[in-house]
Structure 1
Amino acid sequence: MSCNAQTYPLRTYIDMPENAYLKDTNNELPTYEGTWFGSWNNKTIYITLKKVTNKYNSILKYYEDLLIGKFKVINNTGAVLFDNTSISDDKAKIEGGSFKKSDGKYLFSYLDMDLCARNGYGTIQFTDTTKTKLEWKFSEGEVMIDTDCFYYGQTWPEPLPKSIILTKQ
């Protein structure tokens, strides 16, 4: 699909006109692409980030370049706890948003309908000049477990870490 609308760089901090294109003109997103891993609470997570270009945002009504993420979590015995790495890109549970103006951190959202609509928001940023380590911060959204949820009355799982340093594989 091509887009003939006005193009803006990713770090544009204005209300975007309808059908505009928020484009990675400075080629910032590829440095985040790849598989990242880290450990927390006797678990290891592998997150694969991928750049998607010219995706239409039906809520904000413009096109954008962004990162999507898929992940796999294993426990310390090697058992797979969560794995959405084989789903299609358009079903990715982690989706990038934009760079924050105040500190340059990249914003992302998380929505997992397979875990009773588990959701939240977070940021990532590089911690070193070689760009091989990412600081990950995540805050869960409001969770309402109803009786239809298979976790109703059980301990709620923790698919994503709240805070972790991820290393590029």
Structure 2
Amino acid sequence: MNVQCQTVTTVVPYRTLDYPNGAYLKDLDNEFPFWLGTWEGTADNKKYTFTFVLFQKHLRTVPSGRYEFKDKVVGKLKVTDLATNQVIYDESSFANFDDYIIKGNVIYGREFYFGFYDKENHCNNSADFTLVRYDNNPNQILYKNFSYGEYFTLDGPCPYNDQLDIPMFLPKVDLMLTRQ
């Protein structure tokens, strides 16, 4: 006796709003490749190195039992103090999706909106920022609109009294990032 089972996943464009359970939201319009790779910029005597990678067909489930596969851009961050040449923050060694602290949320026109979700040692702090693409220079993007996200600690007490006391390593000022 020989039994074979084949599941067929419905593939839909990434921006599709209405799709069946289990669908694959794929970057069919090739919006993501531009953003991928390593980008660097300096501000406040610090060098910020962002590395963005693509996870294809990442499984996302919700408590209702609904699930989808989705192409997702995620990022890593490394911060170097230029005065001492010391690395003061480094999340650049990640390889597993769940370890990444920067998640691409949505592309709207020339802007890509990101969320930053820090680890437990920084009280699960969060922030948002935007990257802006310029057609006249494909090797530069503008980092802008840093803002703190909602603050609540999920895993026990936080040693900080205020969200602004928690170390935040994202730049809080606008800066130009250059493709490396």
Which AA in structure 1 matches 2:59? Y
Matched AA of 2:68: Y
Map 1:1-169; keep pairs closer than 5 Å.
Answer: 4-12=8-16, 14-59=17-62, 61-76=67-82, 77-90=84-97, 91-100=99-108, 103-113=109-119, 114-137=121-144, 138-144=146-152, 148-152=157-161, 155-162=165-172, 163-169=174-180
| Contact residue 9 and residue 22 of structure 2 kept, 8 A | yes
8 Å CA contact 1:3, 1:21 repeated in 2: no
Q: Is 1:68–1:89's contact at 8 Å kept on the other side of the alignment?
A: no
What is the identity percentage for the equivalent residue pairs of Structure 1 and Structure 2? 31
Distance in 1 (alpha carbons) for counterparts of 2:151 and 2:44: 21
Change (3 A) 1:43 1:115: same
RMSD: 2.6
Query: Structure 1 residues 34-43 or 107-116, which shifts more?
Result: 107-116
Letter in 1 for 2:107: F
The answer for unaligned runs of 5 or more in structure 2 is 1-5
* Contact 1:47–1:71 (CA under 8 A) maintained in structure 2: yes
Q: Distance in 2 between matches of 1:139 and 1:62?
A: 29
Contact 1:52-1:67 at 8 Å conserved across structures: yes
| TM-score normalized by the length of structure 1 | 0.83
What's the offset of the Cα at 1:130? 4.0
Partner SS, residue 21 of structure 2? coil
Evaluate the alpha carbon distance shift between residue 150 and residue 45 of structure 1 in structure 2; reply closer, same or farther with a 3 A threshold: farther
Contact 1:54 1:64 in 2 (8 A): yes
Deviation at 1:63, TM superposition (A): 0.9
| Total equivalences in the alignment | 165
**Change over 3 Å in CA distance of 1:147–1:51 after alignment to 2:** closer
Structure 1: gaps spanning 5 or more residues: none
Residues of 2 paired with 1:109 and 1:4: CA distance? 32
Shift of 1:132: 0.9
User: Shift in Å at residue 83 of structure 1?
Assistant: 0.3
TM-score scaled to structure 2, two decimals? 0.78
Letter in 2 for 1:74: T
In structure 1, how many angstroms separate the alpha carbons of the residues matched to 2:41 and 2:137?
17
User: Aligned in 2, Cα 1:112/1:135: closer, same or farther, shift over 3 Å?
Assistant: same
Which of the two has higher C-alpha Rg? 2
Secondary structure of the structure 2 residue equivalent to 1:85:
coil
Post-superposition Cα deviations, 1:55-111, rounded to whole Å, max 9, x if no partner, equal 0122372111121101100112212111011123321001112323xx342222211
1:5 alignment partner, SS class: coil
